[in-house]
Every structure is written in C-alpha cells, then in structure tokens.
Amino acid sequence: MPNPETESPQLRRERLAGLTAAALVCAALPSVALLVADTPTTDERKVAVTSFVGWLAAGALLPMLYWSRYRALGFATYFAPVWLVAVVWCVAVVHGEWPGWAHGLPLGVIVGALARGRRGPQPGEETTAILFAAVLGGGVAWLFVSRGRPFDPAGYYLMAVAMVLVAWTATRLFRPWFELSLEPLVWLAYAIRGRGPGLANFPQTGPCLVIANHACWMDPGFLGKVIPRPITPMMTAAFYDLPGLRRIMVAFGVIRVPEKAIKRDATELQDAIAALDRGECVVIFPEGYLRRTEEQPLRRYGQGVWQILKARPNTPVFACWIEGGWGSYMSYFNGKPTKNKPRDVRRPILVGVSEAETIPHDVLTEHLKTRIYLMNRTIAARAYLGLPELPRFEVTAKGDDTRPDEAEALS
C-alpha cells in the first residue's frame, strides 16, 4: 500500500480516476439491469438478463487478457463514449428498448480495464466508494420501479452518468489511453520482447531506477513497452520543447534535461531524486549520449547516476540491455538518425532486464566504483538475451573507468 505522503501524483490521479469511474459504473448498473430486464414475459426477461450478463463478462475479459496492466486503463477511455452512444441511442431512437449487448459489452470492458489496471489501491477507500455507489445506484433503480415509469427518467439519469464517465476518463486516464493508441504504430515498426528475471517481479508501485545502454532515439519507448508500469524518463530540451510535444511530456511527467554541459548540481538530477521520492519508476541512460560507432557499444557512464543513488542509496536498480536499436532508422548507424537507412518494419528489439539490486554501500562511496559497477551490470544483462559476453570494465592504474582495450576510445 503506498504511503499517502509520498505517493506519486500520477498514481494518485490514476487511483482517484479508477475509483470515480468504478463508482459511476456501480451507480449505473442497477438501472441498466432494470431496463434490460423490463420485458413483457418471464422467458424474454431471462433471455435479456442472460444476454446482458454474458456480454458484461465477455467485455470484462478483453482488458484482462491485455499484456500491460497499466495501459489496459486506456480501454476505459475508449469504451466510455461507446456506452454513451448506446444510452443516447436507446433514449432517442429505440424509445424504451435496452438490448443487453449494447450496454453489457462496453460496461464490461470498463469494469475489466479498471480491475486490470489498478495499482496500489487503498482497500478502505476503494470499498467505501464502490459500496456507496452501488447503494446510490440501487436507490435510484428502486425509485424508477416504484414510480412505474422506468424508461424516461432512467434513460436521462444514465445519460448524465455516461457523460460524466466520458469526461472523467478522458481527462484522468489520458496517458494510458495515449500509450494504448500508439500500440499499433509501435507494433508495425518494432517487434519488442522483454526477457530476464527483473520482469517477473517488477514492482507495481514504489521508487525504482532503470538504467540501460542508449543506441537510438526510441530506447525509452522500448523500455516503456516491456516495463509493466508507467516510467519517468529524461528528455533533452531539444525534443522536450518541440511545439505540441511539450504538453504531452508535461502530462507524462518526463524530466527535462537542459541543453548544457553536465554539472553536479544539474536540476534534472534533483528532479529525478524528487520523482523517486514520489514513488516513480525513473529511467536514465547514464551514458548521456547516443551510440555513434559499431566498435563502442557502451560509453563511459557519467556521474549523474551516482549523484542520484548517493542521494537515495536504498533505491532498487534494474540494469537493462537493449539489443536491436543500433542500426535502426532512429540510430546513428551509417549517418544521423532518419538518414541513410530504411524505415523500421517489425524490427526485432530485445530488452534484457536484470533483477532488482540495491547498490552496495562500499561501492557508492566513490563515483568511479559506482559507474564501473553499473556499466558491468548493464553489459551483464546481455546474457538474458543470449548475446556473447563483453569484457568487463575496470579501473586502470591511471584511474580511468575503462576497459583496458578501450582506454583510448573512452578518453
């Protein structure tokens, strides 16, 4: 259970959005069930109720089968307008007929998405909201029945609920909806697979730091694809400040890196530490530089990652290796990104993720030890992808954090 004082604002917004959406659905279900079951004969009533329950269960199964728990929340944003259309159609067009499939399917998808995507709920708060909504919805349904005219008042009541649900999910669940919408484009360009022990028990909440090699512009997206929770990456100001993109980056909580020489008191490092304090999953490419050559798969790590871990030494670290980015359309292979290369179509991308590790205290005492340690942890993640080992980095007699055979290249 997250600590309310340190809970990520993003997680808090998602949890509030989920609770509100669940409450709205629970408030509407009794009235929907009443309208669907309001048929002339007992046999027709049984068929209508069975159809409604069946479509409700089928709809709930769809997001449950989706690979990403977090992005499954985006299904709620998609299907809330579908249900609104169904309600308007029943009120304004068919005048009193409420087919079970038209309401069971979208409501089921919304319920399944909220159940699949919940992260770090507070049980007391969640139970209270849903029970209150169910009682409210049951009371409204009883009011319609007692008056003997369920169609008109119930229809307008459900229309109002559906409108609120659409507005709430569109504004509060924008990020999972946006990422879910990009999935088809990402699928066309890349075949991304994650491997390694770190993925099996990746924490759904709480602070953690993900580090990886950096071979192309799309590396944050590759990590975001395999990591089962929203990530907080860093982005240089050259991209962050692009018109249109900035608003999305702000909404996603991306950390802006100014276009300047690296400094020990860099504001982006303080932003990263603050994100960890809020319980976020921070992604950093410690090289601070895109790969440029075939011969040098990993450059020397900067001191930034050490500064972050020195400030928060108990942070679990996941070291990753991304294979397949070098040579892609977004890499510096054979020229600048997007130049002299064909566009990527189902390009294989493999991401090896090590298990969580807290960096030993004796390593964190010196920045060189920390940087070399993390560089070696990064290349060790290649083993999860079946790739050949690379020589380990070591501190040379001169104090350089290099491999002996690459001292000149890394100087």
185 shares a domain with 89: no
The pLDDT of residue 271 is 94
| Tens digits of residue pLDDT in 304-352 | 999 999 999 999 999 999 999 999 999 999 999 999 999 999 999 999 9
151 shares a domain with 185: no
Could you say which DSSP state residue 339 is in? S
Count of the separate structural domains present in the chain: 2
Would the pLDDT of 400 be above 70?
Answer: no
Are 316 and 208 a contacting pair, CB within 8 Å? yes
pLDDT confidence of 4, banded at 50, 70, 90? very low
- E-assigned strand segments in 152-296: 190-195, 208-212, 232-236, 255-257, 281-284
Element (H, E) at 136: helix 123-147
CATH of the domain at 331: 3.40.1130
Is residue 106 a part of any domain in this protein? yes
Take residue 50 and report the two structure tokens written for it: 């069975």
Could you say which DSSP state residue 399 is in? -
CATH of the domain at 118: 1.20.1250.20
Q: Which of 148, 172, 196 is the last residue of a domain?
A: 172
248 shares a domain with 157: no
* pTM attached to this predicted model: 0.84
304 shares a domain with 229: yes
- Which of 246, 239, 247, 379 minimizes the C-alpha distance to 320? 379
315 shares a domain with 191: yes
341 shares a domain with 197: yes
| Exposed e or buried b per residue across 33-50, where buried means at least 16 C-beta atoms within 10 angstroms of its C-beta | bbbbbbbeeeeeeeebbe
> In whole angstroms, what is the distance from residue 71 CA to residue 69 CA?
6
143 shares a domain with 241: no
249 shares a domain with 380: yes
Euclidean distance between the first and final Cα of the chain, in Å?
46
Element (H, E) at 348: strand 347-353
Take residue 297 and report the two structure tokens written for it: 């798969």
> In whole angstroms, what is the distance from residue 325 CA to residue 348 CA?
9
Is residue 93 a part of any domain in this protein? yes
Q: Enumerate residues 6+ apart whose C-beta is below 8 A from 43.
A: none
Q: To the nearest whole number, what is the mean pLDDT of the chain?
A: 84
Q: Which domain holds residue 110?
A: 9-172
| Tens digits of residue pLDDT in 54-105 | 999 999 999 999 988 889 989 999 999 999 999 999 888 887 688 999 999 9
> In whole angstroms, what is the distance from residue 283 CA to residue 234 CA?
7
